Each structure stands twice: as structure tokens, then as C-alpha cells.
């Protein structure tokens, strides 16, 4: 008796009044307009990456670049920095962070949501508390600690603070809490061990949350700047965000190169997001078809 | 204590189950502990020491606490941060909710994916890159915002250069980045609401607004609280946008707690003072979160 | 599900790749590591590595240059130095911070120190020194502001671009002529002076100091131990009043113009005070601006060649390779290398011997640099707490610009704050 996830619309059996059609159309328009406004800075970024530095400085403002296929900024980005290597490094780090987060967070989420052991709330609060500590105050001792562990300038070192996501624990706990206890009890009666329950009952029911967490954690880790900057010293280990920042300095910002690099750094994420989003949708639809 | 003994050496089914629960949580605890415990403790220890020129440290007890907590610059930064929060948290949550509700109504999956992707895209940029792009959009002379506003007859605004507009302007950058994230959470939750509830409400003749108030919002309660807490924590610690653009200016109008903390630690070389500020942030956030949790936690009756 | 399995494979392989990549432990080659955050000068930074290859032939050590983003470099440096064995052998930073506030620098060997004492321009002789001992090699000459004027705008306003204002009084008269007010009473369409009003207060202090020095004021006492009586002296109040009036009374500068560099490049401002790197930026971003460079105007005194942020190359005290590091420094400390090093980046060389070379003579700022170097050396503030002091001072300057208070009152407050910082 899985709930069929569908949109919040009145049943189609009833004929839709003109007003309802009008309202629905208005809502769609509002959503679309909002999306376009939110998307605009990207359009602006992409367009700017096709302009040369003097074009950008020009007043009054001109939206369109002089030459629409002017990729010289992109060429310059690759010439100045080994940007492909940065993309690879970021991909590796973000993948590890995302997978690790999902695994650990779903386990912890299950523990927090469906069990009642002593100290549960305290532990949960402790985990949420990690989020409340300003990273800047912890960075120096954390660096020293990483140094002792020999993890400086390594993938593990870059990923270390990111291996578990507090948000992930939150999200999974939320998602798992919504699973009716009857399912779990039924599985227990059937003799399944707790771990089996986790794999067979819990995980399949929270696929959308898992996909969400994967995407979000991947993106979050991809866009980390401060910690990677502190822990990385060799040019081959640099990540994409550091590559981006190399087009700024203490005096000025090279917007033409910065926007080109920013576009380059977003494209992979876009790809991953589009792919994973389809999986989210499939997962949702699949769970709807089951039972 | 006895409870722990029973967890370690379970006698009953219940004990065994409790142990299982603890074991599920253990990896997370271990991860966080092994990475963060030592640095956290170290950072708190710093707050009791003063670094003197030459690099040596001297123990000063609570003197730094007294110094920081009576400093007007610090409290100005706190007030700036609160002002930023009062703008960004409600705006983000309300907008994200509205967008999620709107998206939920769109039945055509392909369009819905397109729009939701566009809302989510800002999350794909790093805060620093977003801030730099927005700084340029906000530029009073050749930024796009004033250019667009000029078509509607609004004179050029100073945005990040203005004492009053700088905080909302900076907050808006954060809202832009995070709105897709919260929308996704709300949307996922909305899609798990069983259709039966709405059908039942429609049988009773409920209007759209009533459906929203009595079914949707209460069922989303957990997510709303979670998003509120996360947004509060995240915006209280706002740093990247500020540092990349205004660095606390103009005239300290955008100096937030964390940007002051960063300057104190790394530009003024006063790690002890910075650690005091960190303790302040932690205590404040913990208190506020506990309060939020206590007040807004309503059991949802199915 | 096929797709899920595929993704699992991708993730798993990523994990395997990460595991088999034990990090960046590659080079068996011995090397000296140099950290710098001068990312606007990539050619300059690369040169160290190039020279390092030559150096390796005699010593067996190459040089690896790591460019650190300017944003956040202080955190990274501090973390690395506190963790000791991950620190670089050589690094670029301010001597009075890393050697004064902390004790992270190695003292320069006496022979090398003498070479620099003999060959640096007068105003640079204190750069790289702390308490009389030399630790660092100055790498930037031309770190002081000069006056850039827009020739066309001067001509249009009836001013002679070859005869720029030489005193602050003349300067005010000139910028008044160069400002085109807005008929509707809004912000001017063109300002005489591109003023720096955004960003951290330290930067604002940096841009204001030439005015302060021109009026005969100084931010701290000569021993750098007191601010009251200096930061709020009558001369300083006069300087800040003049500065604030530019925006608030005479309206020849405007806070609505964003970056002063952009304003000058967009021909919205006729004059800007900027350092020697600026004409490189102009060539790239605003090549159609017809400009000339001159020495800053004087008043009671001359601003002279002063800088708040003198960058130097330093050697880490606890580096196991510090002897070799000093060897490398010796290797590149000669007029020829100094010339080559700075020329490939298009910046001014540091050695006095190179200041009359054909390369320098061909630069647009040649004459103005000579004029400014001929002026007496202005006050310097190489104090370990210079960031914090300059911030407190800058808050007063910014306060005046934004109309948050009167110069005397704000400077008095700043002086009290600065004294508290000094005593702490």
C-alpha cells in the first residue's frame, strides 16, 4: 500500500472550472518566471565568458558579446591552469564525499529515527552541533591534526571534514521517520536482522532522499574552497574552486577568465544533476508502481 | 551507566535492538569524532591563551572573553549578522516553499524537471564565484541590475556600496544560491504526501487554501523546521560572500561575526580572541536551535 | 536497475582511484618549495622555477613554486607554519608580520644582507628588516602610488596634461574643473578623482596615506608605539577634512562609482592614484584610455614613495633546507637576474643599478618614479599589528567619507582604539 506520489491537484474526475485552469496557468507562469530570474546570472556569466576584457568594461552596458563564438577566454583558462586536472580532482573528492555521506548518513539516520537507545538525543545534538562550529576557528588545529595523520595534500585529506554530512543525517532521519513502523515490525516478525531490515525495507523506501543527498553532497563538496585551499600545496592536487580563484588577486578580478572558468566548473555538475535527477524521478515513479 | 552495560551485553530483545540502534549511529559518531574532536578541543583551549609577538602563548584565563564580549565592534558584527538573518531566513524558506508548491502543481514531468533544475542550478556554483558574479551584477555603474532597473525608471542604486542596502544585497546572494536546495527538500516531501489525504479533503469540500493549511503544511512541519534550522545556522555563519566582495565594508556595515572572526584570527593574529568568538557562535546557535526545536515540534497525527 | 549499477561502478572506481593515489608524493628530486600569493604575476612566479633548474645543476635542488590564492593565504600560511614540517622553505609575505608578530623567519646571512643594503633604493632600505636585522628580500618596487591622469579629459577641461597639479591646492582646483555635475542633482557623470571607498578599511587607509603624508601628518609616532597625538593630530584632521570634502563638499569624487580602477578605465574619472602595476591593467582592460603618469602632488610635505604592504621573500626558520634556500637567494641576487625577473612580468626592478636601464626608461612611469624617489622617504608603519592598526584608522577615514561623523571626532576615537591595540 505504497502511497502514490502525485501532485497536489484535484482528482481529474471532476471537471475543471475556468477559474481553476486560470489559476493553474498563473502558477505555472509564476514558477517559470521565477526560474528564469534565478537562471539569469548564469546566462550573464556565460555571455560574459565570450567577451574580451575591454568589452566587459564598456559603459553603457551591452548584453551581447561582440563575437558570439569568441572562445579565447576558455583557451586562456586552459593555458594558464591545468584546469582538466582540477576538474578531475574535484570529481574524485566530491564522489568520495557523496558516497561516504550517503552510506554513513543513512545508517545514522536509521539509528536516530527508529531506535531508542540511551543518549540518542545527545548524540544527535552533538552531530548537529558540528555544524554550529565556525570552520575558520577550527582550521588551524585541524590542519595540524591532518599533518600528524599524514593526510596533507592527499585526496583523503581534502575529503576528511566532508566525509559525513550533518545535513545528510538530518535528511535521512527525516525521511526514515516517515516510513510506517508497521513495515519494520512486519519484517522483524519475519525474522529479519536489523541490518537486513536496513537494506531491504529502509533503503528502498528512501531512494529520493538518497538521490537528493548524493546530488547535494556532491555539489557541496565540489564547491568547497577554504579547506581545500589550506590543505593542498601541490599544483596537481588543486581543485576547481582554487582554479577559479586564480583569476582573482589582491588588485583586480579578471572577469572574462573567471566567468569562463566558472562555466567550465558548472558543466560537470549540470551533467551529474541531470542524470541523477532522472534517476530520482524514476525512483519515485517506481516506488509508486510497487504495490 | 547501567543502561550502557545492558547495551554492551544485551539480555533482552529490546536491549539487542537498542544496541543495534547505537551501532547504526556509531560510524557517523566515529567519523566526526576522529576528524573534529581534537581540533575542536584545541580551538576552545586557544580561547584561554593570548599569542604574543614572537609567537609564544600565555594563559590568560577568561580575560579574552571579557575583552571580546565588551567590544563594540564585536556586537556591531553580531547585530549586522542578525539583520542579515532576519532577511535571508524568512525569504529563503517562504520562497522555497512557494516554489515547491508551485512546482508540485505542474503535472508535465519534463517541464517540471526543467524549472526545478533552473532553480537548483545556483547551488552548483561555489559561494565565492556566485558572490563575485553578483558583485558585478550589483555594480552601480556597469552592473546589470541598475541597467535593468533603469528601464523601469528606477535611478541607479548603490547596492554593495550603500550602508543600508549592503546587508540585504549580500543576503540575497545567499538566498539565490540556496533556494534550489530548500525547494528540492520541500518538493521531495510534498511528493511523498499520500494522494488519499487530498482526496478525502476534497470530498469534504475543502478549498485550496484550506488544503494547504490543514494538510500540506502540517505534514511538511518536520521539513520546515529542518530547513529553518539549517538556514539559520548557515546564514549565521555567513562569510564567503562577505569576504569575496565587501570585506566588511562599507564602514563596517557588512562586517559579520565570522568575517570579524577571520580577520581577528588571521589578519590581526589574535587566535585567542577568534576562538572566543567561535565559542560564542556555537553557544548561540545551539541555544537557538534547541529553542526552535522545543517550540515548533508538533507531533503529527496521521 | 541498470543505471544504478552503472553509477555504483563509477563511484567504486573513483574510490579505487583515490585509494591508489597516495597523494602527491611523486618527486624523488630534491627541491625547495616557495609559496607565493602573487597570483597576478604568473610570469614572475614561474621565473623562480626556471632559475631553479639552473640552480639544480650546481646544488641538486630544484625550486617548486606554489601559488596560493590571495583570499585566505594568511590562514594557510599560519596553519602550515604551526604544523612545521609541511611548511614551505621560502615564502612571500610581509616581514613585520611573519618575523615580528610570529617568529617564523630565518635571519638573512650577513653577506647577503650587505648586498641588499648596498643595492636597494633609499626608501626600500627598511623593507625586509625587523628590529634592524634583515630577513627578507623586497620583491616589489613601485609599490607606491602615483598620479595617473586622463589626457583627453584634461584637454577637454582646459587643463594642460603636461603640467599636472603639483600641490594639493592645485589638485583640488584641477579636479573641480574635471568634474561634470549631473544636471538633475544626482551623482556626477564624470568625477575628477577616482576615490577608493569600498573594501576592507586597510585598503582605504593605504589609499588615504599619501594625503595624510602630504599634509605633514603621520599615523603613528616615529617609534610606532603611540597613536594619540599622531593619528588625530591637527595635520591629520586637516588631511582627512580635505579628503572627506572631496566627496561631501566639493563633490569631485563620488562613492557611487564602484571600483576606482573601473571608473578610470571607463573614462568616468580623470585622475586616479594607483601603483605601477596599473598601466598594465589599463593596457589590457581599457586600451583606449590616453593616460600619463606623474608624481603625487605635495602640500606641506610630499607623499613620497611609501607603502603599507611591502612584499618580501623570506626563508622559513624551521626549514630543513634553509641553508640551500639562502644559497638560492644568493644565486639570484644580482642585477642581471633582478632585471630579468621583473622585466618578464612587466614590473619595476628592485636594484638601484637597474633603475636607469633601457627597459625602465621606456616605461610610462619612468619619470614619475624618479620624481617620487627624489622626494624624502615618508613615514612607514612596519609594525606587527599593522593590519589591525590600519583597520582601526581606516574606519575613521571611511566614516568621514560616508558621513558618519566629523574628522576630528572619528580620528580621536580611532586613536584611542589604536593605542589600545598597541598596548595589548
Provide the percentage of residues in chain C whose pLDDT is more than 90: 77
Instruction: Name every chain A residue with its beta carbon within 8 A of the beta carbon of C71.
Output: 245, 248
| Length of chain A as a residue count | 291
Q: How far is B56 from chain C (nearest CA, A)?
A: 8
Instruction: Give pLDDT, residue B217.
Output: 82
Instruction: Give pLDDT, residue A5.
Output: 45
Instruction: Give pLDDT, residue C183.
Output: 76
Q: How far is B4 from chain C (nearest CA, A)?
A: 36
Please tell me if residue C20 touches chain A, with a CB cutoff of 8 Å. Answer: no
Instruction: Give pLDDT, residue A289.
Output: 37
CA distance B224 to B93: 8
Instruction: Give pLDDT, residue A62.
Output: 83
Instruction: Give pLDDT, residue C79.
Output: 93
ipTM of predicted complex: 0.89
Quick check: bond before C44 cis, omega within 30? no
Residue-averaged pLDDT of chain C:
90
Q: Quick check: C22 pLDDT over 70? A: no
pLDDT tens-place string over residues B245-278: 998 878 889 999 999 999 999 999 999 999 999 9
pLDDT tens-place string over residues B54-92: 667 888 889 899 999 999 999 999 999 999 999 999 999
Instruction: Give pLDDT, residue B56.
Output: 77
- Chain A residues 104-143 with CB within 8 Å of chain B: 104-105, 107-108, 110-112, 114-118, 120, 123, 125-138, 140-142
- Torsion sign across C-alpha atoms A42, A47, A52, A56: negative
Average pLDDT (B208-231) is 82
Q: Is the CB of residue A262 less than 8 Å from the CB of residue B125?
A: yes
pLDDT tens-place string over residues B106-117: 878 888 888 888
Which of B140, B250, B264, B272 to substitute to test the interface with C, most C CBs within 10 Å?
A: B250
Band (A2; pLDDT cuts 50, 70, 90)? very low
- The residue among C165, C254, C273 whose CA lies nearest residue C209 is C273
- Chain C residues 94-123 with CB within 8 Å of chain B: 97, 100-104
Task: Take residue C326 and report the three cell numbers written for it.
Answer: 639562502
Please tell me if residue B142 touches chain C, with a CB cutoff of 8 Å. Answer: yes
Band (A116; pLDDT cuts 50, 70, 90)? confident
Q: How far is A117 from chain B (nearest CA, A)?
A: 5
Q: Quick check: A82 pLDDT over 80? A: yes
Which chains share 3+ C-beta pairs under 8 angstroms with B? A, C
Task: Take residue B265 and report the three cell numbers written for it.
Answer: 584570527
Q: Is the CB of residue B59 less than 8 Å from the CB of residue B48?
A: yes
3-state SS of chain C?
CHHHHHHHHHHHHHHHHHHHCCCCCCCCCCEEEEEECCCCCHHHHHHHHHHHHHHHHHHCCEEEEEECCCCCHHHHHHHHHHHCCCCCCEEEECHHHHHHHCCCECCCCHHHHHHHHHHCCHHHCCCCEECCEECCEECCCCCCCEEEEEHHHHHHCCCCCCCCCCEHHHHHHHHHHHCECCCCCCCCCEEEECCCCCCCHHHHHHHHHHHHHHCCCCCCCCCCCCCCCCCCCHHHHHHHHHHHHHHHCCCCCCHHHCCHHHHHHCCCEEEEEECCCHHHHHHHHCCCCCEEEECCCECCCCCCCCCCCCCEEEEECCCCCHHHHHHHHHHHCCHHHHHHHHHCCCCCCCCHHHHHCHHHHCCCCHHHHHHHHHCCCCCCCCCCCHHHHHHHHHHHHHHHHCCCCCHHHHHHHHHHHHHHHHHC
As beta bridge partners, residue C35 has: C66, C91
pLDDT tens-place string over residues C335-366: 999 999 999 998 999 999 998 999 999 999 99
Return the residue matching grid coordinates 564567503: B240
Q: Quick check: C156 pLDDT over 80? A: yes
Band (C300; pLDDT cuts 50, 70, 90)? very high
Interchain CB distance below 8 Å, C23 and A91: no
Instruction: Give pLDDT, residue C344.
Output: 93
Which of B14, B16, B19, B24 to substitute to test the interface with A, most A CBs within 10 Å?
A: B24
Instruction: Give pLDDT, residue C191.
Output: 92
Band (A6; pLDDT cuts 50, 70, 90)? very low
Average pLDDT (C268-295) is 93
Which of A33, A43, A134, A278 to substitute to test the interface with B, most B CBs within 10 Å?
A: A134
pTM score of the predicted model: 0.90
Q: How far is A132 from chain B (nearest CA, A)?
A: 5
Q: Quick check: B183 pLDDT over 70? A: yes
| Chains B, C: CB pairs < 8 Å | 92
Q: How many CB atoms lie within 10 A of CB B205?
A: 7
CA distance A72 to C210: 39
Interchain CB distance below 8 Å, A116 and B106: no
As beta bridge partners, residue C146 has: C274
Please tell me if residue B39 touches chain C, with a CB cutoff of 8 Å. Answer: no
Band (C408; pLDDT cuts 50, 70, 90)? very high
Please tell me if residue B263 touches chain C, with a CB cutoff of 8 Å. Answer: yes
Q: Which of A149-153, A247-251, B290-294, C181-185 has the least mean pLDDT? A: C181-185
pLDDT tens-place string over residues C82-127: 888 889 999 999 999 999 989 999 999 999 999 999 999 888 888 9
Q: Quick check: B212 pLDDT over 80? A: no
Q: How many CB atoms lie within 10 A of CB C412?
A: 17
As beta bridge partners, residue A172 has: none
Instruction: Name every chain A residue with its beta carbon within 8 A of the beta carbon of C83.
Output: 143-144, 147, 152
Residue of B nearest to A142 (CA): B39
Annotate C367-397 with b (16+ C-beta within 10 A) or e (fewer).
ebbebbbebeebbbbbbbbbbbbbbbbbbbb
3-class SS of residue A59: coil
Amino acid at each position: 500500500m505504497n502511497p502514490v506520489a502525485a501532485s497536489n491537484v484535484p482528482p481529474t474526475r471532476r471537471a475543471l472550472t475556468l477559474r481553476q485552469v486560470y489559476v493553474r496557468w498563473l502558477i505555472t507562469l509564476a514558477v517559470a518566471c521565477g526560474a528564469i530570474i534565478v537562471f539569469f546570472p548564469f546566462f550573464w556569466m556565460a555571455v560574459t565568458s565570450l567577451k574580451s576584457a575591454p568589452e566587459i568594461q564598456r559603459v553603457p552596458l551591452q548584453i551581447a558579446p561582440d563575437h558570439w563564438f569568441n572562445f579565447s577566454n576558455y583557451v586562456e583558462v586552459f593555458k594558464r591552469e591545468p584546469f582538466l586536472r582540477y576538474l578531475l580532482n574535484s570529481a574524485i573528492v566530491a564522489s568520495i564525499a557523496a558516497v561516504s555521506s550517503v552510506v554513513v548518513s543513512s545508517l545514522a539516520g536509521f539509528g536516530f529515527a527508529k531506535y531508542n537507545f540511551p543518549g540518542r538525543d545527545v548524540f544527535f545534538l552533538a552531530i548537529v552541533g558540528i555544524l554550529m562550529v565556525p570552520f575558520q576557528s577550527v582550521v588551524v588545529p585541524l590542519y595540524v591534526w591532518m599533518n600528524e595523520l599524514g593526510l596533507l595534500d592527499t585526496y583523503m585529506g581534502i575529503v576528511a571534514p566532508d566525509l559525513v554530512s550533518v545535513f545528510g543525517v538530518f535528511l535521512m532521519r527525516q525521511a526514515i521517520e516517515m516510513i510506517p513502523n508497521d513495515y519494520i515490525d512486519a519484517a522483524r516478525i519475519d525474522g529479519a536482522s536489523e541490518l537486513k531490515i536496513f537494506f531491504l525495507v529502509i533503503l528502498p523506501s528512501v531512494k529520493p532522499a538518497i538521490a537528493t543527498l548524493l546530488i547535494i553532497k556532491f555539489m557541496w563538496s565540489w564547491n568547497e574552497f577554504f579547506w581545500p585551499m589550506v590543505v593542498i600545496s601541490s599544483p596537481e592536487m588543486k581543485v576547481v574552486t582554487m582554479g577559479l580563484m586564480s583569476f582573482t588577486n589582491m588588485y583586480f578580478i579578471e572577469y572574462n577568465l573567471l566567468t569562463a572558468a566558472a562555466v567550465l566548473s558548472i558543466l560537470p555538475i549540470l551533467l551529474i544533476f541531470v542524470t541523477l535527477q532522472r534517476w530520482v524521478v524514476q525512483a519515485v515513479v517506481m516506488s509508486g508502481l510497487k504495490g | 551507566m547501567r543502561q550502557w552495560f545492558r547495551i554492551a551485553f544485551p539480555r533482552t530483545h529490546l536491549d539487542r535492538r537498542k544496541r543495534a540502534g547505537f551501532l547504526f549511529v556509531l560510524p557517523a559518531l566515529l567519523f566526526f569524532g576522529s576528524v573534529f574532536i581534537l581540533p575542536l578541543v584545541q580551538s576552545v583551549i586557544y580561547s584561554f591563551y593570548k599569542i604574543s609577538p614572537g609567537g609564544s602563548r600565555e594563559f590568560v584565563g577568561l580575560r579574552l572573553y571579557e575583552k571580546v564580549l565588551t567590544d563594540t565592534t564585536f556586537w556591531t558584527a553580531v547585530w549586522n549578522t542578525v539583520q542579515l538573518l532576519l532577511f535571508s531566513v524568512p525569504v529563503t524558506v517562504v520562497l522555497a516553499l512557494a516554489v515547491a508548491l508551485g512546482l508540485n502543481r505542474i503535472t508535465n514531468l519534463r517541464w517540471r524537471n526543467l524549472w526545478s533544475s533552473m532553480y537548483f542550478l545556483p547551488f552548483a556554483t561555489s559561494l565565492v564565484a556566485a558572490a563575485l558574479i553578483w558583485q558585478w551584477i550589483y555594480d552601480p555603474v556597469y552592473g546589470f541590475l541598475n541597467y535593468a532597473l533603469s528601464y523601469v525608471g528606477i535611478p541607479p542604486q548603490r547596492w554593495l556600496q550603500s550602508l543600508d542596502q549592503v546587508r540585504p544585497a549580500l543576503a540575497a546572494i545567499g538566498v539565490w544560491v540556496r533556494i534550489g536546495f530548500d525547494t528540492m527538500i520541500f518538493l521531495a516531501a510534498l511528493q511523498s504526501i499520500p494522494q488519499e489525504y487530498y482526496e478525502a479533503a476534497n470530498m469534504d469540500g475543502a478549498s485550496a487554501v484550506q488544503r494547504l493549511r490543514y494538510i500540506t503544511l502540517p505534514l511538511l512541519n518536520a521539513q520546515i523546521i529542518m530547513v529553518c534550522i539549517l538556514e539559520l545556522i548557515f546564514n549565521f555563519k555567513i562569510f564567503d560572500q562577505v569576504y569575496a566582495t565587501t570585506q566588511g565594508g562599507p564602514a563596517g556595515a557588512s562586517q559579520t561575526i565570522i568575517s570579524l572572526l577571520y580577520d581577528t584570527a588571521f589578519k590581526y593574529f589574535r587566535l585567542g580572541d577568534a576562538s572566543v568568538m567561535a565559542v560564542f557562535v556555537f553557544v548561540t546557535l545551539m541555544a537557538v536551535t534547541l529553542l526552535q526545536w522545543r517550540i515548533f515540534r508538533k507531533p503529527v497525527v496521521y | 536497475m541498470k543505471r544504478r549499477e552503472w553509477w555504483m561502478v563509477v563511484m567504486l572506481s573513483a574510490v579505487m582511484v583515490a585509494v591508489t593515489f597516495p597523494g602527491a608524493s611523486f618527486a624523488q628530486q630534491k627541491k625547495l618549495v616557495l609559496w607565493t600569493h602573487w597570483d597576478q604575476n604568473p610570469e614572475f612566479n614561474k621565473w623562480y622555477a626556471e632559475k631553479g633548474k639552473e640552480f639544480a645543476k650546481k646544488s641538486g635542488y630544484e625550486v617548486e613554486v606554489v601559488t596560493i590564492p590571495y583570499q585566505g593565504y594568511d590562514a594557510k600560511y599560519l596553519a602550515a607554519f604551526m604544523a612545521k614540517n609541511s611548511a614551505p622553505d621560502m615564502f612571500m609575505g610581509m616581514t613585520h608580520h611573519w618575523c615580528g608578530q610570529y617568529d617564523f623567519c630565518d635571519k638573512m646571512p650577513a653577506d647577503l644582507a650587505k648586498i641588499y643594503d648596498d643595492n636597494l633604493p633609499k626608501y626600500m632600505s627598511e623593507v625586509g628588516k625587523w628590529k634592524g636585522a634583515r630577513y627578507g628580500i623586497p620583491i616589489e618596487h613601485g609599490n607606491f602610488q602615483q598620479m595617473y591622469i586622463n589626457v583627453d579629459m584634461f584637454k577637454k577641461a582646459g587643463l594642460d596634461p603636461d603640467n599636472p597639479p603639483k600641490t594639493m591646492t592645485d589638485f583640488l582646483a584641477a579636479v573641480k574643473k574635471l568634474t561634470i555635475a549631473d544636471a538633475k542633482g544626482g551623482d556626477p557623470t564624470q568625477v575628477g578623482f577616482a576615490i577608493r571607498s569600498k573594501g576592507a578599511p586597510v585598503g582605504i587607509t593605504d589609499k588615504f596615506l599619501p594625503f595624510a603624508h602630504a599634509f605633514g601628518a603621520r599615523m603613528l609616532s616615529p617609534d610606532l608605539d603611540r597613536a594619540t597625538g599622531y593619528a588625530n593630530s591637527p595635520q591629520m584632521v586637516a588631511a582627512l577634512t580635505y579628503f572627506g570634502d572631496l566627496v561631501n563638499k566639493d563633490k569631485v569624487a563620488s562613492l557611487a562609482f564602484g571600483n576606482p580602477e573601473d571608473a578610470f578605465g571607463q573614462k568616468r574619472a580623470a585622475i586616479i592614484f594607483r601603483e605601477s602595476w596599473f598601466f598594465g591593467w589599463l593596457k589590457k582592460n581599457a586600451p583606449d584610455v590616453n593616460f600619463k603618469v606623474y608624481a603625487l602632488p605635495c602640500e606641506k610635505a610630499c607623499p613620497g614613495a611609501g607603502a603599507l604592504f611591502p612584499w618580501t621573500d623570506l626563508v622559513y626558520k624551521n626549514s630543513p633546507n634553509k641553508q640551500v634556500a639562502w644559497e638560492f637567494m644568493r644565486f639570484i641576487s644580482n642585477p642581471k637576474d633582478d632585471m630579468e625577473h621583473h622585466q618578464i612580468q612587466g614590473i619595476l626592478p628592485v636594484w638601484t643599478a637597474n633603475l636607469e636601464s633601457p627597459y625602465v626608461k621606456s616605461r610610462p612611469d619612468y619619470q614619475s618614479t624618479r620624481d617620487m624617489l627624489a622626494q624624502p622617504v615618508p613615514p612607514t608603519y612596519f609594525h606587527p599589528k599593522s593590519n589591525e592598526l590600519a583597520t582601526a584608522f581606516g574606519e575613521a577615514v571611511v566614516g568621514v567619507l560616508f558621513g558618519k561623523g566629523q574628522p576630528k571626532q572619528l580620528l580621536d576615537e580611532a586613536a584611542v582604539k589604536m593605542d589600545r591595540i598597541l598596548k595589548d
